[in-house]
Each structure stands twice: as C-alpha cells, then as structure tokens.
Amino acid sequence: MKKLTILLIFIMSLTSCEVPDSLINVVNQNLPLTEQEVVSGLKEALKVSTDTAVNVVSAINGYYKDHLIKILLPPEADIIVQNKNNSLLQAAGITKFINDAELSLNRAAENAAKSATPIFVNAIKSMTINDAFNILNGSDTAATHYFRQKTYAKLENLFNPQIKKSLRKPLTHGISADKAWSTLADTYNEIAPLAGWKKVNVQLDKYVTHKALDGLFIKIAQQEKQIRTNPKAQVTDILKRVFGEKFSF
C-alpha cells in the first residue's frame, strides 16, 4: 500500500495536482521510526500513563474503592482483625477503630499521590535510546517495568515525606491517619497483655509509602497496556506514530 501511495503522490506532483494531506500522512506513518521518535514516543507514553494514573488514584476513593490497590491495615495488625470479636475489644469499640484506620490510610495515599507527577516527570527524562528500543519491543508493560526498576528507590525517598504529611492531615472525619492508627493500636495494646496477645508496633509511613507506590505502578501498567493496544488511548500524534497500526507494503 505504501508503494502505491508513493507512486500516486509522484504522479500527482508531475501533473501539478495538489497532494492531499491524508496521502502524505499515510507515507509518513509508514516511514521507519527514527531513534528520536522512539524515545519521544516512549517518554510520551510514560507521561500519559503516569498523569492518568496519578489523576485516578489521587481522587477521593482512588485507592479505597479499588480492590486492586486498596491499602489494607499493615500485616502486623492481622492479629487485631482476627480477634476483633473478642468481647473486651468489642466493648472498646475496636470495629470502628479498624474501619477508621483503614479509610484514613487510603485517604493519606490519595492525598499524597497528587505530588507524584513532578517526580515522575523528572524520572522520565533519563531514558536512553537503548532503553527506548528495548521497551518498544518488550512486553505490554515493559515501560512500567523499566520505570519501576530505575526509579522506585528514588521515588520512595521523595514520596515518603509527602506520605508523612498526609498521614498527619485530618482527612477522615477530622481525624488524621496517624491518630486513627494510634487509637486502634493503643486500644488493642492495652488489652493484648490480658489476652496473651503480642502488641503491635508499625512504622506507618514506610508501609503506606510502599503500598501507595505499588498501587500507582499497577495503574501505570494498566495505562501502558491501553496505549499499546487501544488506538483511542493513543491521544497524541507521537503515540499514534510509535504504537499505532503499521501498514504493510
């Protein structure tokens, strides 16, 4: 098809006919991808994926109502949940404290996620030509895997302070996640010795940071798959050029 189109354009040029933009676009679409286009396309894919993912998870209930990324109580709190029907814990209002703490953790992650975009933007700039071609020819989440592998530690260090701030904000019923968690843990820890249970002690900010970032990367991967396979998700010309359908000769 490409050869026929080029021939048609050539003939039209000889006869001084105006060449429609649609025909020129077909030829341009089928020219080999340049290194710069591949790099630009992959960077654009990551930008679109991360922007969309951040918008999704930073919305109210972005984490809390999504079963794939909802942040549950830390594993150390399993003993609290397992024994929540204990009469002493029930009398202390443990069910409400559990629900408040879980909701608060997710609200903190949703709030902190708003600050992730500039962190992702800076990370995208470091992509090399070799990285880009490996990603282009890789799996449907190759870009996300590369991005996570190259940036997770840095993102964790930069994201953790934002999580700490969010954990201190009164985002749920006027109560912060730190307060909701400490109320739950303190209530349980007061009763634990009486029942012969182990007390709980968790570094909440590190736990929520890891879970929040894990959730973000899950959403980024979903967006990358869409860009690679769904023309409607290829929202810019460079994405259509790099990931769009290729015509055969």
Q: Is residue 248 part of a domain?
A: no
The pLDDT value recorded for residue 30 is: 59
Nearest to 19 by CA among 28, 35, 8: 8
Residue 175 DSSP SS3: strand
Element (H, E) at 223: helix 204-229
Q: Is residue 60 part of a domain?
A: yes
Q: Look up tokens 């984490």; give the residue.
A: 63
Residues 4 and 98 in one domain: no
Angstrom CA distances, 237 to 52, 87, 104, 248, stand at 18, 63, 41, 20
Residues 139 and 162 in one domain: yes
Residues 122 and 213 in one domain: yes
Q: Look up tokens 């902190």; give the residue.
A: 112
The pLDDT value recorded for residue 5 is: 41
Q: Phi/psi class of residue 199: alpha, beta or left (left: φ > 0; alpha: ψ in -120 to 50)?
A: beta
The pLDDT value recorded for residue 170 is: 92
Phi, psi of 172 (to 5 degrees): -125, 110
Q: Is residue 16 part of a domain?
A: yes
Q: Is residue 249 part of a domain?
A: no
N residues, the chain: 249
Domain encompassing residue 237: 35-243
Q: Is residue 180 part of a domain?
A: yes
**pTM for the predicted model, two decimal places:** 0.79
The pLDDT value recorded for residue 29 is: 52
Residues 26 and 108 in one domain: no
Residues 90 and 145 in one domain: yes
| 186-195, long-range: CB < 8 A, 24+ apart | 187/89, 187/92, 187/93, 187/94, 187/97, 188/80, 188/89, 188/94, 190/92, 191/86, 191/88, 191/89, 191/92, 194/88, 195/83, 195/86, 195/88
Buried b (16+ CB within 10 A) or exposed e, 21-34: eeeeebbebbeeee
Domain count, the chain: 2
Residues 80 and 188 in one domain: yes
Residues 18 and 84 in one domain: no
Residue 207 CB partners (closer than 8 Å, separation 6+): 74
The pLDDT value recorded for residue 20 is: 53
Ranges under pLDDT 70 in the chain: 1-31, 245-249
Residues 223 and 106 in one domain: yes
Residues 177 and 112 in one domain: yes
